[in-house]
């Protein structure tokens, strides 16, 4: 499937045009320990190893910005409701991949950590590449014009997360960007909301984007 242009519907505070998203990968860590009674301590338990690995990953990728990598611990499971040092445990870690990084470098970093932790292994579960498009592509220009038409000041943005833009570029089109009404900082929180005024403003900007894009690409108003 090919498209002349795509607008990914993501909240961008009504005046933002997203031209880049970081990538992401999920990595499963599995650790094993010798077991034994908890009264002897748990220094080499599966849980201790996983926690140590997680702290090393956090230290390695500390700081949040669009250029760098940011880790998040999604799940940590180990041990049972018995006084036995955990023999087995798993952790699932998400790493957001900055524009100056890639999966190869992350795999190299993780391998260097895990090889120094006996009894542990790791597996890449999924991978989404980062994406950054030209600020001069046709759909970005159309969105900027449409936002100006609706008396707002357009802003070009890069986002920390991922979206369908990571998947669709460049195979479906290189004319792609993200735009939408609503406060992006509230996304996936308990306070996520949108007002009717924001919604209608977004509808008008979508409509005007189609008109502007038709003029830019097809040379005629629609």
Report pLDDT for 37.
54
CA dihedral 23, 11, 157, 16 (to 10 degrees): 160
User: Tens digit of pLDDT per residue, the chain (222 long)?
Assistant: 999 999 999 999 999 999 999 999 999 999 998 865 565 555 689 999 999 999 999 999 987 665 689 999 999 999 877 777 788 999 999 999 998 889 999 999 999 999 989 999 999 999 999 999 999 999 999 999 999 999 999 999 999 889 999 999 999 999 999 999 998 887 778 888 889 999 999 999 999 999 999 999 877 554
Please report how the helices 196-213 and 138-149 are oriented relative to each other, as an axis angle in degrees rounded to 10. Answer: 130
What is the separation, in whole angstroms, between the first and last Cα of the chain? 23
23-32 vs 88-97, strand pairing mode: antiparallel
> How far apart, in whole angstroms, are the C-alpha atoms of residue 220 and residue 222?
7
In whole angstroms, give the CA distance from residue 90 to residue 56: 16
- Contact criterion met (CB below 8 Å) for 157 and 10: no
**Cα–Cα nearest to 74, from 22, 126, 111:** 126
Residues pairing with 31 in the sheet: 89, 120
DSSP for 52-111, please give it.
HHHHHHHHHT-S--SSS-EEEEEEEEE--SSSB---EEEEEEEEEEPTT--HHHHHHHHH
Radius of gyration of the chain measured on its C-alpha atoms: 23
What global pTM score does this model have? Answer: 0.83
Distances (CA, A) of 160 to 19, 92, 140, 148: 12, 19, 19, 25
Distance CA 5, CA 138 (A): 8
Residue 121 forms beta bridges with which residues? 30
Give the pLDDT score at 81: 72
């Amino acid at each position: 499937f090919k498209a002349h242009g795509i607008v990914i519907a993501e909240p961008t505070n009504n005046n933002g045009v997203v031209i880049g998203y970081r990538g992401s990968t999920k990595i499963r860590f599995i650790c094993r320990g010798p077991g034994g009674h908890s009264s002897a301590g748990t220094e080499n338990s599966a849980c201790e190893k996983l926690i140590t690995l997680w702290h090393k990953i956090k230290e390695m990728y500390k700081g949040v910005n669009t250029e760098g990598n940011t880790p998040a611990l999604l799940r940590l499971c180990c041990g049972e409701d018995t006084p036995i040092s955990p023999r087995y445990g798993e952790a699932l870690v998400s790493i957001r991949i900055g524009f100056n990084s890639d999966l190869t470098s992350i795999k190299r970093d993780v391998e260097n950590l895990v090889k120094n932790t006996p009894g542990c292994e790791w597996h890449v579960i999924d991978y989404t590449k980062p994406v950054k498009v030209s600020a001069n592509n046709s759909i970005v220009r159309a969105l900027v014009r449409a936002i100006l038409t609706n008396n707002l000041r357009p802003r070009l943005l890069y986002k920390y997360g991922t979206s369908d833009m990571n998947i669709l570029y460049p195979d479906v089109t290189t004319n792609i960007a993200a735009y939408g009404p609503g406060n992006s900082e509230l996304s996936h929180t308990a306070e996520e909301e949108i007002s009717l005024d924001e919604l209608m403003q977004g509808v008008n900007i979508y409509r005007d984007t189609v008109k502007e894009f038709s003029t830019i690409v097809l040379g005629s108003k629609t």
